[in-house]
Every structure is written in structure tokens, then in C-alpha cells.
């Protein structure tokens, strides 16, 4: 089973994304900030990261830069999800290492489809 890590400081968003990804065939873990997520990512293999931008301790941009600095995690697919919807926000996400950028609230079918495409499960 594919493993996903959701990183978001909002409980309701984590629950929402968990349900979508579980329904799409993922086993899901959760974190509330980038520090906790980096610790988990270094301890366990994940097939996908769903990352919020604005979080305490370590934001999503910094988390992705840190993640990409590890050779074995350099290619792990990451979807950045944010309420920020301007072109500069998308560019910042891609510069940090995101593979895809979505604005909140995400549509369940879109998140599931992108997650499966990024992890090689075309349905």
C-alpha cells in the first residue's frame, strides 16, 4: 500500500485530506509542522507528501527544501496545498521542490487524481 504523509497544522484539513487519500488507496500519517514531518520522513519511507505552506516551527517551503536536501528523499513526490493562489506562491512552491500546487479547499477528485498520478498509479 502506498504511504502518504499529510503536513498541516489545521486538524480539519488533515482529516479532510486523510479521507480523500485513504479512499484513493493510501495509508496515511499526519504531522502538524515541518519539523515533525522531517523527523517522520527520515524514519519511514513515504510515497507522497501533502504539504501546507503556513505552519508553526517550520513552514512548508522550508520543509520541502530540507526534504530535497536528502539524497534518498530528493525525488519523493510532494503536493503543496495552500490558501495562497497567486502566481508568486506557485513559483515559490516549485522553487522549494513541490511537484504540484493546489489551492484550498482542494476538490477530492483532483487531489486523489494528482496523488495517484505522482505516485505512478494511473487510474
pLDDT in tens, 74-108: 788 999 999 888 889 899 999 999 999 999 999 99
Residue 34 counted as domain residue: yes
Region of residue 112 (phi > 0: left; psi between -120 and 50: alpha; otherwise: beta)? alpha
Q: How many domains does the chain have?
A: 1
Judge whether 24 lies within some domain.
Answer: yes
- Tens-digit pLDDT profile for residues 3-19: 999 999 999 999 999 99
**Any idea what the CATH number is for the domain that residue 110 is in?**
3.40.50.2300
**Cα distances (Å, whole numbers) of residue 61 to 2, 23, 30, 81, 98:** 24, 27, 17, 11, 9
Computed over every residue of the chain, the mean pLDDT equals 93
Beta strand 2-7 pairing with 78-82: unpaired
- The reply to whether 13 falls in a domain is yes
Tell me whether residue 123 is in a domain.
no
The model's pLDDT over 40-70, given as tens digits with 9 standing for 90+, comes to: 999 999 999 999 999 999 999 999 999 999 8
Say yes or no to pLDDT of 121 above 90: no
Tell me, yes or no, whether 41 lies in a domain. Answer: yes
Residue 95 has what pLDDT? 94
pTM value is 0.94
Give residue 16's domain range.
2-118
Helix 34-43 to helix 60-68 angle (10° resolution) is: 30
pLDDT of residue 109: 93
Does residue 81 lie within any of the structural domains?
yes
Amino acid at each position: 500500500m502506498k504511504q502518504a504523509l499529510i503536513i498541516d497544522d489545521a486538524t480539519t484539513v488533515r482529516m479532510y485530506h486523510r479521507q480523500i487519500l485513504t479512499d484513493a488507496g493510501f495509508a496515511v500519517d499526519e504531522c502538524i509542522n515541518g519539523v515533525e514531518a522531517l523527523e517522520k520522513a527520515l524514519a519511514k519511507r513515504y510515497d507522497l507528501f501533502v504539504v501546507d505552506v503556513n505552519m508553526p516551527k517550520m513552514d512548508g517551503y522550508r520543509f520541502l527544501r530540507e526534504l530535497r536536501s536528502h539524497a534518498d528523499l530528493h525525488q519523493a513526490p510532494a503536493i503543496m496545498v495552500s490558501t495562497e493562489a497567486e502566481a508568486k506562491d506557485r513559483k515559490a512552491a516549485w522553487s522549494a521542490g513541490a511537484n504540484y500546487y493546489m489551492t484550498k479547499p482542494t476538490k477530492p477528485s483532483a487531489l486523489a487524481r494528482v496523488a495517484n498520478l505522482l505516485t505512478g498509479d494511473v487510474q
